[in-house]
């Protein structure tokens, strides 16, 4: 299968007027379907990318069978970068099933199962300039056992005995 060169879009949460719709615009009924399997194969070999906090995003795009495919990663955390990798993106897409997710694909680490407490997700769609509009979500703090607490004020400090989420371990013990 022949792929066009990778075109990437890197944006850092610049505000712009857009629809408040929580999901991408629907595709035309006669549009060719997205080829998720071939797209996951392509994502598998893409290099790691750091996605900035506060609704930072990074789009991986390529054309398969004449249709431009986009895997849009979104970092909802208020405080720290999250690095996405090709194998993790491919696994997240392969494990995605349509359902009540609003089009979001949960992103996770394929080796550990860690999902950044739900702060990293992706959308798979036909290439567009659409992206979700939101402020960062919350501050997440964890204790020594990696139990998480969610705080809606992004400027709040973690309670005593807990640490901010970027210090939480993926194996179950926070670095306190």
Mind listing the pLDDT tens digit for each residue in 36-61? 889 999 999 999 999 988 888 888 89
Query: Residue 148's pLDDT is what?
Result: 72
Mind listing the pLDDT tens digit for each residue in 61-74? 999 989 898 899 98
Query: Residue 139's pLDDT is what?
Result: 67
Mind listing the pLDDT tens digit for each residue in 97-156? 655 565 678 888 988 888 877 788 888 888 888 887 776 766 677 777 777 776 666 566
Mind listing the pLDDT tens digit for each residue in 85-111? 999 999 998 887 655 565 678 888 988
In three state form, how does the secondary structure of the chain look?
A: CCCCCCEEEEECCCCCCCCCCCCCCCCCCCCCCCCHHHHHHHHHCCCCEEECCCCEEEEEEEEECCEEEEEEEEECCCCCCEEECHHHHHHHHHHCCCCCCCCCEECCCCCCCCCHHHCEEEEEEECCCCCCCCCCCCEEEECCCCCEEEECCCCCCCCCCCEEHHHCCCCCCCCC
- pLDDT over 70 (residue 29): no
Domain range annotation of the chain: 7-126, 138-176
């Amino acid at each position: 299968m022949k792929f066009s060169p990778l075109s990437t879009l890197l944006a850092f949460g610049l505000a712009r007027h857009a629809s408040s719709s929580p999901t991408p615009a629907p595709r035309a009924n006669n549009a060719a379907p997205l080829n998720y399997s071939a797209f996951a194969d392509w994502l598998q070999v893409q290099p790691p990318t750091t996605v900035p906090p506060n609704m930072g995003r990074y789009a991986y795009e390529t054309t398969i069978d004449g249709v431009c495919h986009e895997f849009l990663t979104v970092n909802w955390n208020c405080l720290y970068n999250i690095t996405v990798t090709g194998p993790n993106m491919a696994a997240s897409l392969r494990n995605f099933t349509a359902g009540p997710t609003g089009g979001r694909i949960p992103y996770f680490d394929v080796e550990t199962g860690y999902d950044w407490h739900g702060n990293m997700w992706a959308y798979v769609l036909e290439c567009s300039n659409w992206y979700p509009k939101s402020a960062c979500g919350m501050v997440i703090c964890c204790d020594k056992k990696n139990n998480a607490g969610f705080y809606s004020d992004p400027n709040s400090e973690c309670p005593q005995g807990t640490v901010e989420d970027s210090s939480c371990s993926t194996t179950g013990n926070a670095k306190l």
